[in-house]
Amino acid sequence: MRTDRIERTERTEPVERDGQRGFSLPEVLVAALLFAVSLLGLLQYHQILLQGFQRQWQYRHAWSLAHQQLEMLDIATDMPDPLLTLPLNWHSTVESHIGAGSCLKRTIKIQTALRQQVELSRWYCKPPG
């Protein structure tokens, strides 16, 4: 049976390779600071994008609701103004104005929670005769 003898020696000084010993503490701190600032910038950009998407969605949804409201008014001409169920903190108003002849103008105004306002109007005229 063969036994190899391995000698262990303890080193008291770190091994240097080409004069480098790794990153210094200031270098690591600067790198961590740059990473943190970059990450915060990306998070702020992401938040701004989400707010823009939310504003755009609410604006498009308000137009859709105004159109639906006008369609409901077109169907239910003999009923009082039927109102749609709106999301929380949204407001709508229906205005009716009698125009020349036998025409009626109905205007729907919807305000979103972000204070965007949509206004859609339609004329309802009876044929002469």
Q: At 109, phi and psi to the nearest 5?
A: -120, 125
113: in domain: yes
Average pLDDT for the chain: 85
65 pLDDT exceeds 60? yes
What pTM does this model have? 0.64
Say if CB 93 and CB 65 are below 8 A apart: no
129 pLDDT exceeds 80? no
What average pLDDT does the segment 95-120 reach?
A: 90
36: in domain: yes
81 pLDDT exceeds 80? no
38: its two tokens:
């970059």
106: in domain: yes
Confidence of residue 116 (pLDDT cuts 50, 70, 90): very high
54 pLDDT exceeds 80? yes
Give me the number of domains the chain comprises: 1
Q: Report the range out of 19-23, 45-49, 92-96, 121-125 with the highest average pLDDT.
A: 45-49
Domain that holds residue 52: 25-125
89: in domain: yes
pLDDT at 18: 66
5: in domain: no
Q: Which residues contact 45 (CB under 8 A, 6 or more apart)?
A: none
Buried b (16+ CB within 10 A) or exposed e, 25-64: eeeeeeeeeeeeeeeeeeeeeeeeeeeeeeeeebbebbee
Confidence of residue 126 (pLDDT cuts 50, 70, 90): confident
19 pLDDT exceeds 70? no
